[in-house]
Amino acid sequence: MTIAILGWLVAGICIIALVTLWFVISFKELSIKKKSLDTIGKQVQLHRSLCMEERGGENDAAAHMILENKLMVYRQIENDYNALIRRPMHRIPAYIMGFHPAGRK
């Protein structure tokens, strides 16, 4: 009887360790990607306001080009983040920990 209890105890500890590692690794990967998405989002906002200030000026074309480049990078990171959330390994932890797909801004 004690051997069976010991076996169940070891199995329980292994399952808890596996689930904990699964969630920790998912959280690290998702938070890194979310942080980069937030950072590039702030840069897009900054360049959008600078582009509005420069509208009609001599640097209007350059400001537009920089804004378009930032938007292209933002869309790529947003697609990568959404793809990461949809992966089977990250889907359940992302839902439980509150990571939601990023929408178009």
Residue 104 placed within a domain:
no
Q: With a cut of 70, which residues of the chain have pLDDT below it?
A: 104-105
Question: Residue 84: is it exposed, middle or buried by C-beta count within 10 angstroms (0-12/13-18/19+)?
Answer: buried
pLDDT score at 57: 76
Residue 82 placed within a domain:
yes
Residue 44 placed within a domain:
yes
CA 86, 87, 88, 92 dihedral sign is: negative
pLDDT score at 77: 95
- For the chain, percent of residues with pLDDT exceeding 90: 70
Range of 88's domain? 2-97
Residue 20 placed within a domain:
yes
Residue 64 placed within a domain:
yes
Residue 103 placed within a domain:
no
Predicted TM-score (pTM) of this structure: 0.79
Q: What is the domain count for the chain?
A: 1
pLDDT score at 71: 93
Q: Which residues of 26-59 are buried (b: 16+ CB within 10 A; e: fewer)?
A: beebbeebbeebeebbeebeebeeebeebeeeee
